[in-house]
Amino acid sequence: MSVAPRLVLVDSVVVDVVLNVDTLPERGSDTYVEKSDSFAGGGFNVMAAASRLGLAAVYGGVVGLGPFATIAQEAMRQEGIVVATAPNDDLDTGFVVAIVEFDGERTFLTSNGAEATLSTAQLDELDVQGNDFVYFSGYALLHESNARALLSFLARIPASTCFLFDPGPIVNEIPEASLDAVFARVDWFSCNAREALLLTDTNDPEEAARVLRGRMYRGGVIVRVGADGCVVVESDDAAVRVPGYVVESIDSNGAGDCHVGAFAASLALKRPALEAARLANAAAAISVTKRGPATGPTWPELEAFLDQKKTEQSS
């Protein structure tokens, strides 16, 4: 009997402390925020997006012990996400201060915690299957011990396991040797246009996607371009623009994570890559219309959104 695929995330689940402001405060000022809240974030956003679209999620990273860890663990419990590793009792889970401006733009400040202590021994306990999806981001490669463990882990997982990677905003801080190891194994490299520019020195998303694909041995590249959708390059094929969806954005925090999770969930349903990218564009569009980092839709919500957009286009 075949086992259903899972998303095995070996990245960091942290807590997002979200502060909503009109604009970034001046240096040295004291600014009152319009609204604040705390949510599980980081890799949680990817798992939540995938789980809501039917792809079971397993967290193979490390949680801590403390108030932030409690928020992270409760959020994963509510989403049905399995935590596969033992907690680090000596550290709390880390947190990210996300300053969200009126137009949805966000700025991050990060404080590391237990998630930065991942070890090879913990990863050895993960039973990754050939039909699973494995994900981590560039943040995971900033911690030296995590990077060693993860790159060794990549060499051990089945060749048929789909590995997805997103470098994140700190792409220019990732050691080049670590990026080379990722490119040697990754099946889907997903980033936004800014990150693609930093990696390729070109601000043309199509050309950037082709350059990135040239560094890979297999799979494809996705360059996200916000409301304009994304560019997809599969294998040595030409770059394809997959249109996005125009919505009123109120919070873009977690939109890229939602895109990756929805893309993986669609691939797990055997959707072709371009169709999976279209669905991921729609899921990300829905996510920016809601406040909070983990705002990916369910299938009924996604289908209703697509039906609405189809009706708008035909009227």
What is the spatial distance between Cα 284 and Cα 306, in angstroms, rounded to a whole number? 12
Pairing of strands 230-234, 240-242: antiparallel
Question: Does 98 have pLDDT greater than 70?
Answer: yes
Is the pLDDT at 2 greater than 60, yes or no?
A: yes
1 pLDDT above the threshold of 60: no
Residue 236 has pLDDT above 80, yes or no: no
Name the β-bridge partners of 107.
99
Check residues 20 and 296 and name the one with the higher pLDDT.
Answer: 296
What is the dihedral sign for C-alpha 176, 178, 179, 185? positive
Please tell me whether the overall predicted TM-score, pTM, comes out greater than 0.85 for this model. yes
Q: Are 35 and 95 in contact (CB under 8 A)?
A: no
Q: What is the pLDDT of residue 177?
A: 94
For residue 292, is pLDDT > 80? no
Does residue 203 have a pLDDT over 80? yes
Mean pLDDT of the region 36-56 = 94
Q: pLDDT > 90: what percent of the chain?
A: 77
Tokens 């397993």 belong to residue: 58
SS3 annotation, 104-124: CCEEEEEECCHHHHCCHHHHH
pLDDT more than 70, % of the chain: 99
Strand partners, 38: 17
Q: What is the mean pLDDT of the chain?
A: 93
Amino acid at 101: E
Confidence of residue 283 (pLDDT cuts 50, 70, 90): very high
Place of tokens 């663990």: 73
State the DSSP string of 291-315: SSS--PPPHHHHHHHHHHHHHHHH-
Residue 133 confidence (pLDDT): 98
Torsion of CA 264, 168, 237, 225, to 10 degrees: 90
Examine the pLDDT at 200 and tell me if it is beyond 70.
Answer: yes
| pLDDT at res. 45 | 94
Distance of alpha carbon 114 from the chain centroid? 19
Q: Edge-to-edge, what's the strand order for the sheet holding 133-137?
A: 82-83, 56-59, 6-9, 133-137, 162-166, 188-192, 220-224, 230-234, 240-242
User: Is the distance from CB of 162 to CB of 188 less than 8 angstroms?
Assistant: yes
pLDDT digits (tens, 9 = 90+) for 51-97: 999 999 999 999 999 999 999 999 999 999 999 988 999 999 999 89
Q: Is the dihedral of CA 291, 18, 52, 159 positive or negative?
A: positive
Q: How many CB atoms lie within 10 A of CB 124?
A: 12
